[in-house]
Structure 1
Amino acid sequence: MSKEKTKAIKKKASRRQKKDWIAAYIFIAPVTIGLLIFYVWPFIQNFWFSFNDVNKFNMATFCGLDNYKKLFEEPDLMLALKNTILYAVITVPIGLFISLLLATLLNSKIKGKGIYRTIYFLPSITMAAAVALVWKLIFNGDYGILNTVLEFFGVEGKRWLTDPSTALFCVMMVGIWSGAGYNMIILLAGMQGVSNSYYEAAEIDGAGPVQKFFKITIPLVSPTIFFVTITGLIGAFQVFDTLYMMIDIDKNPAFNAVKTTNVLFYQNAFTYGYKGYAAAISIFMFVIIMIITAIQLWGQKKWVNYD
């Protein structure tokens, strides 16, 4: 083949590559533009607002680190952070255990697996407002279903959502219930990616169901478990909608017991109008979530290297 023909082929190939690149950019442009407009730019703006005193008309006056100084002097921050961490520490492990149990059961040979999967997954696609209102009726201290059932068995009911000792745990229960189905589907997908040859070899060696679960399923599905844990922690630190719909933040005597960092952000941004200070709260939580995620990723690498 002559050099001229080789050059002609290369030119055609380069033109084809350019067309492919242009087509690829056109296809990803809507998503990229959406991310830049609705995620990247708001984050940059929020970061800038955290160093400013912002009034209700979004007029910013630079104040340096005053918002962050106020943040660490605010007693409500420690209370909100404590409630948020408590929510995450309880809901994430319990939710992971329930999701793992459901995924294991639905990965076995049982009849009607499709129906069960649909039933367990339904809460995940239901609007958070609808879920919160239904559970608010269940926990109602005057005419709630839960108190009715307890009284039927001779147990005195409580005002679950207005009692500081039970309000946050009621919200936790709803969070676990609504998120178990989504995590179950992810874990189930990971389990179905495990080859049956591993289980067949284990059966030949005399391994039982428990041994196969801990020696084969858990190690091979550990990346999926880490993913579910990371997303669960991020979601736990961002809890707001369910809590806001179930608890009346203006009148509920248990409000301080359920106040989270997102609720603190909402109060300062939309109730008090301290948008700069609210932006500092959101940046503070962003840093905490990033640190937790980095620690988890480091732990995952150590886990993989160990195995």
Structure 2
Amino acid sequence: MAEKKQQVKVPKKKASRREKKDWVAGYLFIAPVTLGLLVFYIFPFIQNFWFSFNNVNKFNMATFCGLENYSKMIVDTELYQTLWNTLKYVVITVPVGLFLSILLAALLNSEIKGKSFYRTIYFLPSVTMSVAVSLIWKWIYNGEYGILNAILKVFGLEGQNWLSNQSTAFYCVMIVGIWCSVGYNMIILLAGMQGISKSLYEAAAIDGAGPKDQFFHVTMPMLTPTIFFVMITSIIGGFQVFDTIYMMIGKTSMAYESCQTMIAMFYRYGFEFGKKGYAAAISIFVFLIIMVVTAFQMWGQKKWVNYD
């Protein structure tokens, strides 16, 4: 019979007084953030998930109704129209915004005069309150005294009510969304470009690669992790768009139905109609869509994102 190996028990080392103080200090440092996450994120999410299975009145009195709210969503034609509006917003604004961000980042990464000035100008919309931006653009698009119509009249073109026309209102909102996001994404992409080693460009130049070849065969492949990050955050932001629509398109406007997104619909049912249970179900539906899209991106990034 084989001899059993005797396990040697290593005595646990007791923590010293200084180590205990470090632990206490560490927990105290993370306590504010942890409490903030619990109070403002985790608890509201759990409560919202519970509300989606209840009929909730304006006083947050919940009556359990099971899957009734979700069954209503299946036959709600307004939800499908709203989902289509949201998908259209994401499909148009994300690629266009990403392209413009890469273009601006590449220009500002080159040797041009006044780079700091241009960086500040392009980044300003990102740090300006979305409400203020929306009101300014609403004034620009105004059909009676807007700047856009005034410019068109100078060239002999006829203006129109851009924000009340169903065929143009949503695209006007998209332009504002792109204008607000390009500066922030540009800064992130510019940081990614400046983090690429110059030795790669020197090696490409020795092999005879010009500026165009260096951009497409050195810059773009090495920038793919940053592009992937910007793409994920832009898609999530696209699904959550609300403030520009709420401020620019009036609730009584004929174009509101063609501009309403999922979060705008959630707001109306939750805070205007008082149907918080159904609104909670809508928000859970949006969460699931974002989670599925993000998971698909995480799976697909293995084929095109270069981490070397």
- State the one-letter code of the partner of 2:204: A
1:80, CA displacement in angstroms? 0.2
TM-score normalised according to structure 2 size: 0.94
Residues 1-307 of structure 1 correspond to what in structure 2 (within 5 A)?
11=14, 14-249=16-251, 251-304=252-305
259-268 or 163-172, which deviates more: 259-268
For 1:61, what is the secondary structure of its paired residue? Answer: strand
1:14, CA displacement in angstroms? 4.5
1:204, CA displacement in angstroms? 1.0
Is the 8 Å Cα contact of residues 222 and 307 (structure 2) preserved in structure 1?
Answer: no
For 1:155, what is the secondary structure of its paired residue? Answer: coil
CA distance in 2 between counterparts of 1:70 and 1:134 reads 38
For 1:158, what is the secondary structure of its paired residue? Answer: coil
Q: Residue by residue, what CA displacement relative to the aligned partner does 1:207-229 show, whole Å, maximum 9, x if unpaired?
A: 11111111111111111101000
- State the one-letter code of the partner of 1:193: G
The total of aligned residue pairs comes to 298
CA distance in 2 between counterparts of 1:24 and 1:202 reads 47
- State the one-letter code of the partner of 1:93: P
Is the 8 Å Cα contact of residues 228 and 305 (structure 2) preserved in structure 1?
Answer: no
254-263 or 82-91, which deviates more: 254-263
18-27 or 229-238, which deviates more: 18-27
Is the 8 Å Cα contact of residues 143 and 159 (structure 2) preserved in structure 1?
Answer: yes
1:276, CA displacement in angstroms? 0.2
CA distance in 1 between counterparts of 2:296 and 2:307 reads 16
CA distance in 2 between counterparts of 1:153 and 1:49 reads 55
CA distance in 1 between counterparts of 2:116 and 2:31 reads 37
1:66, CA displacement in angstroms? 0.2
TM-score normalised according to structure 1 size: 0.94
Q: % of aligned pairs identical?
A: 66
**Greater helix content:** 1
1:23, CA displacement in angstroms? 1.6
Task: Look up the match of 1:4.
Answer: none
CA distance in 2 between counterparts of 1:110 and 1:91 reads 28
Q: What is the CA RMSD across the aligned residues, in angstroms?
A: 1.6
For 1:262, what is the secondary structure of its paired residue? Answer: helix
1:255, CA displacement in angstroms? 1.1
203-212 or 122-131, which deviates more: 203-212
Which ranges in structure 2 are unaligned for 5 or more consecutive residues? 1-10
CA distance in 2 between counterparts of 1:20 and 1:193 reads 35
Runs of 4+ in 1 over 6 A off after TM superposition: none
CA distance in 2 between counterparts of 1:276 and 1:91 reads 31
Q: Residue by residue, what CA displacement relative to the aligned partner does 1:166-205 show, whole Å, maximum 9, x if unpaired?
A: 0000000000001100000111111111011101111111
